[in-house]
Structure 1
Amino acid sequence: MAQAVPLSRYESPEGDLPFGTRDEVIRVRGGDAQRLVVRETRHGPVMSDVIPSGSAGTDAVLALSWPALRKDDRTADALYGINHARDWATFRSALRQFHSPQQNFLYADVDGNIAFIAPARVPIRRAGDGQHPVPGWDGAFDWIGFVPFEELPVSVNPRSSVLINANNKIVPDSYPHLIAVDWPAPYRAERIEAALNVAGGSHSVGDSVILQQDIVASGMKRVLPRLLAIEPENQRAREAITMIRSWDLRMHRNAPEPLIVQAWIWALTREILADELGSDYRDFVEGGLYTIERLVSDDSPWCDDATTEAIESCDDQIAAALDRALDLLSDRFGDDMTSWRWGEAHVARFRHPVLSRIPVIGDFLTKRLETDGGSDTINRASPRLGGAPETLFENVHGAGFRAVYDLGDLDRSRFMIATGQSGSPLSRLYGSLSERWRDGLTVSLAPETWAVAEQLLLRPAPQ
């Protein structure tokens, strides 16, 4: 945050400084061009000039510090360099110029070398962790440099001969620099590691294709024992718990148990957090299992409902959440729990990027697929956890493109993309791969397939 002193100046450790200004012109087809005056501080552009009035809750202005805004950012050069690298040394050297945003790179070559590296300009802060706006006028929270490239997370040819990354924490607790405060749950990475350990060093292209489709929610093992330990309050709850006890943890679209458990976790997050946080509890719903694991592993004070005089236990809240979840599902899918199916709620909708905005036609061109998986399965298919009840648990996030590369013989690599290779609804290739993508099938791009492939030739119009 920067303190404006009058509107044309702001405070800094060196005294009052003038705002830098520049004009941005946004041309609008069929309308007048829009002119925007961008103010800048020593930390970066002033964002509060373009966000709703009062959002900052202070007379100060909000400025954004971001390494990507530096004029000497060379990330584009890094991308060019890695695409021309011949070995690990030249690949790593190219990534010295990868400045923003921080990415996890996995490397493998035909000589059997493997590596992991997470390059970026990672700020070193005098104080704070970057999660919240901080005063910028006294320099107490200023960046004092970047983590040296040699000290960024890296692993080359580990003794285990395995490198795994599935958005999990990439540094040990002893790592000396701050990369992030919060990390996604480790469940997917743990499941991958377990599957590779079972393989015992023998892992083919086909095995990798199968692994990408794994829908076991292994993180449930950490949470379900706590949830299932409660005493059910009615016959319906007893039936639900009996079903879950015999569940194999697979988030299969034709099974009722994934739907019941997902609704239970969703309702429990609301029961525990909404009384203290109000509508802000929604910011934590995305944490799902990971949030619940930390909230109910011990008898957390969060379990008490702050709006009542009674003191509720975690058991009370778990039982109440199960009833709320079953009420929700009964209203949507009827009273027969055995007929419920995860896929009925967990639908992936593929909308045409342009034509979907046209009434009637847009709905007709939308591809709908019942899907497997969940937020914490290797085959990631994160459900919608907010919005209207009729769209709750829709599949809104997953891998649109999948590939398995065989570096010993690249022609044996396998690929799949959703939903098809054409964006034209008039083409037979529009949506033609949807079911194959959903079901884990793949295609080859090897030369022997070229004879049966179709080619589209685009010719520039004469000037």
Structure 2
Amino acid sequence: MRRAAQDQWEQAGPGVRAMLNAYAAGINAYLRGHLRARPPEFLLLGLQPEAWSPVDSLAWSTMMAWDLGGNWSTELLRMRLALTMPVARIQQLLPPYPGEKPLATADYAALYRRLELGDGQPPQRADGADANGLPWQIESGVEGVGSNNWAVAGTRSVTGSPLLANDPHLKLSAPTLWYVARLEAPGLKVAGASIPGLPLIVLGQNERVAWGYTNTAPDVQDLYIERIDTGDPERYETPDGWAHFENVPETIRVKGAADVSFIARRTRHGPVLSDALPALHGVTGAGGPVPRYALALRWTALELDASDTLAAGLAFNLAGSVDEFLSASAQYMAPMQNMVVADAQHIGFVSAGRVPLRRPDNDLRGLVPAPGWDARYDWAGWLAPTATPRDRDPARGWIASANQRIHGPQYPHFISSEWAPPYRQQRIERLLAARPLHSLDSLASIQADLLSTATQRLLPFLRQAHSVHPLAPAAQHALEGFEGTMAAERAAPLIFMAWVRQLTWGLFADDLGEALFMEQMARRSFREALEGVLDRNDTSWCDDLGSPAVETCAEQVDAAFTRALDELQTAQGDDVSQWRWGQAHQARLEHRPFSSVPWLARWFELRSPVGGDAFTVNASRVSLRPDAGSGELYLGDHGAGLRALYDLGARKRSRFIHSSGQSGIVFSADYRNLNERWSRVEYLPLWGDGRPGRILELEPR
């Protein structure tokens, strides 16, 4: 990524260069004047920060694109499953979006057999550590990395002017990713959420427009199986013959130990990822005496002109109207985002970002790793920026997105198969339609909504569950009247989630193998697969492969209920009436690295009991795998770390809140002072209340 950022810097235009140079100069001026005033993290680790450079900002922008634009790990999962499982079964485990057909038309399991990939053993975990002790954690592809945004036209607003709401869902951290700021200069007055390391307001409002993002989840990454020349392992096959790997020496400096040096290889598609994932050596043959294959990644954000994203960001900060904003979005490259924008008269939507075109004869469609020597699977150019989905002033009076499919069945281009289930978007639209006129208060109530409509397909099965457990009658009583509101103070959401977890384990762990299942439970819920199995009464999944009997789905439902009650009795006691979802489901704002050090975690990490799940508008992803350090279940590790409401008729009414505080210094009162307000879904004025707090005057020297 550093090399990609350096390439972007060399291609950057004068406006981006001037902006990044000025930003770096300001950071470095502070560092020179405060060499001894280092944050506690630097003091405890004995580190001195290096000078900031414009390339660092571009690298950080690319890292954000990695966090939001990664589907390569799902491609990799399908390939690993296909080594031991037929395609039809994989499609049941990872089903297509509701109403869509499976994307790939080729039998990729048969393809991998012909290529003699794998060793016939169940897939192993792809995380862990390599021989140097370096952890290789696959963090892309985590469910729950989404967002909500919507805009209400003036005709649907009590003020007569448009309103806009946005709450991005990312991994929760302490301090939070977001830093709320106001920037003023000649011709510029903008307030909103910035990201330290980037010199712009990323989400916010200027004097004329407001805007917010949700993640499009586009398919902008493809893995390629590169066939290695067994006679010369420095070469790999292309459609035009053999080519040499590009070998790039890399060194990681390790404090208190020797440097770690290695060769990072690249092909015409991009970096070779399989070199960094030892668990894949059994798939590619890299661990044998003669390597057969390598896996390389092509990704839009590694293209040279991705720095245009920052040029677009500057144009967004300066935009004077919805039309100016939509026009500027054509420059935006990565990560692809669903952008909702409003001015005093109009509302608009555009899905902005670079999307690769795939050939009509590409029968894998980017769903799984493809043979890199077959030109059918190469990208065929880029979708024109004007061809991405967009909308302006719809007749119904609102626009909303929540990571769902953003186009209808007649849309002619392929963008993604990785859409989030439409539960949040459908709930938002239902609440928007329920009132003729909206205010900021009604938009705030939508952001706070805790009804998980995703529960409603599974609840009938839970209500029919039988168990001889002594707490079963009390648990079923607690479920009476539960319609899916995931309130922190209730027992029913806890019982439901514990049953879902146990049932998911009972149905899928034996088929995937416990190692792979545990790895995947850290990033996905398999909720759609679970719903499909129960709806079909599919005994092929419900049968426990580890027992001689043939279990039915009803038996698995009952057994999961009993195991859930055992689990909750151990965790929260014998009195079901005292069980609380929020006691288990705490929003955990992880500090890196000190959350891994128990005696430091209690100072640096922030926690608060919250409601919700991954499918509520007030989203809080539920981790179904025990925490690696504490063993806790159901922690909320992703959620709406920022919430914002914008009034386009009166900026002073616009509001925000984020999850920690404005300071990154743990001993500051501002390190955690917003956390309690955030957990209660309360807000602060974005533009201030007109009264000065502290004034800092800067005089040039």
Same fold (TM over 0.5): yes
3-state secondary structure, aligned to 1:104: strand
Unaligned 5+ segments in structure 1 are: none
Q: Secondary structure at 2:459's aligned position in 1?
A: helix
Q: 1:392 to 1:447 in 2, by over 3 A?
A: closer
Deviations 1:407-445 (A, max 9, x none): 111110011112122222322222112111111111113
Amino acid of the structure 2 residue aligned with 1:101 = P
Give 1:231 shift: 4.5
What residue in structure 1 maps to residue 551 of structure 2? 312
Q: Which of 528, 533, 555 is the matching residue for 1:290?
A: 528
Give the 3 Å change call, closer, same or farther, for CA 173–242 of structure 1 in structure 2.
farther
- Structure-1 separation of matches of 2:358 and 2:487: 44
Distance 1:241 1:118 in 2: 47
**Structure 2 CA distance, aligned partners of 1:432 and 1:456?**
21
**Structure 1 runs (4+) greater than 6 angstroms displaced:** 457-460
Shift of 1:224: 0.9
Query: SS where residue 441 of structure 1 aligns?
Result: coil
**8 A contact 2:348–2:390 mirrored in 1:** no
Distance in 2, Cα, partners of 1:268 & 1:34? 44
Inter-CA distance 97–127: structure 2 relative to 1 (3 Å threshold): farther
Q: Which of 1 and 2 has higher RCO (CA within 8 Å, sep 6+)?
A: 2
Task: Specify the alignment match of 1:180 in structure 2.
Answer: 416
Partner of 2:685, secondary structure, is coil
Please tell me the residue identity of whatever aligns with 2:401.
Answer: N
Q: Does 1:4 pair with 2:228?
A: yes
SS of 1:163 mapped into structure 2 = strand
Matched with 1:276 is 511
What stretches of structure 2 of length at least 5 have no aligned partner?
A: 1-224, 286-291
Q: 2:333 aligns with which of 85, 92, 99?
A: 99
State how far apart, in whole Å, the 1-side matches of 2:696 and 2:464 are: 60
In the alignment, structure 1 residue 208 sits paired with structure 2 residue 438 = no
1:150-194: CA deviation from partner (whole Å, max 9, x where unpaired):
332222222222211112222223433332223222111111111
Q: CA RMSD for the aligned pairs?
A: 2.6
C-alpha separation in 1, matches of 2:598 and 2:482: 42
For 1:127-206, what aligned pairs fall within 5 Å after superposition?
127-200=363-436, 202-206=437-441
Equivalent residue, structure 2, for 1:454: 694
How much has 1:237 moved relative to structure 2? 2.6
Paired residue for 2:165? Answer: none
Cα 1:427/1:455, change in 2 over 3 Å: farther
- Name the CA distance, whole Å, in 2 between partners of 1:447 and 1:235: 56
The residue type paired with residue 325 of structure 2 is F
Q: Does 1:267 align with 2:502?
A: yes
Q: How far is 1:222 from its partner?
A: 2.3
Is the deviation greater in 29-38 or in 72-81? 29-38
Q: Which secondary structure does the structure 2 equivalent of 1:22 belong to?
A: strand
Bigger strand fraction:
2
Tell me by how many angstroms 1:298 deviates: 2.2
Distance 1:391 1:105 in 2: 36
Partners of 2:603 and 2:666 within 8 A in 1: no
Give % identity.
34
Equivalences for 1:37-76 in 2 at 5 Å? 37-52=263-278, 54=281, 56-58=283-285, 59-73=292-306, 74-76=308-310
**Deviation string for 1:244-288 (max 9, x for gaps)?**
122253212111111100111111111111121122334268335
Q: In structure 2, what residue type is equivalent to 1:113?
A: I
Query: How big is each residue's C-alpha offset from its partner over 1:350-400, in whole Å with a ceiling of 9 and x where there is no partner?
Result: 344465566524323433211122111111111221125841101111111
Instruction: Tell me which residue corresponds to 2:625.
Output: 386
Tell me which residue corresponds to 2:23. Answer: none
In 2, Cα distance between the equivalents of 1:312 and 1:381?
33
SS in 2 for 1:111: coil
Which residue in 2 is equivalent to 1:406?
647
Q: Match of 1:88?
A: 322
Q: Give the C-alpha shift of residue 321 in structure 1.
A: 0.8
Where 2:305 maps in the other structure, the secondary structure is: coil
Aligned to 1:78: 312
- Report the Cα distance in structure 2 between the residues aligned to 1:270 and 1:355, rounded to whole angstroms: 31
Aligned partners of 1:328, 1:228: CA distance in 2, in Å?
Answer: 18
Greater shift, 137-146 or 312-321, is seen at: 137-146
Distance 1:455 1:393 in 2: 43
Q: 1:457 to 1:227 in 2, by over 3 A?
A: farther
Q: Residue 565 of structure 2 aligns to a residue in which SS?
A: helix
C-alpha separation in 1, matches of 2:632 and 2:249: 42
By how many angstroms is 1:102 displaced?
1.9
In the alignment, is the contact (CA less than 8 A) between 1:127 and 1:142 conserved in 2? no
TM-score (norm 1): 0.90
Structure 1 distance, partners of 2:260, 2:421, is: 43
How far apart, CA to CA, are the structure 2 residues paired with 1:229 and 1:167?
Answer: 33
- How far off its partner does 1:31 sit? 6.0
User: 2:570 is matched with which residue?
Assistant: 331
- Does 131-140 or 263-272 show the bigger shift? 131-140
Is 1:429 aligned with 2:429? no
Give 2:599's match in structure 1, choosing from 356, 360, 368. 360
TM-score by length of 2: 0.61
Q: Counterpart amino acid of 1:395?
A: G
**Whole-Å separation in 2 of the counterparts to 1:307 and 1:355:** 40
SS in 1 for 2:293: coil
**C-alpha separation between the residues in 1 aligned to 2:663 and 2:441?**
27
Residue equivalent to 2:614: 375
Does residue 247 of the first structure (1) align with residue 468 of the second (2)? Answer: no
For residues 442 and 187 of structure 1, do their structure 2 counterparts lie closer, same or farther at Cα, with a shift above 3 Å needed?
same
Q: In structure 2, do the counterparts of structure 1 residues 231 and 82 end up closer, same or farther at CA, with 3 Å as the change threshold?
A: same
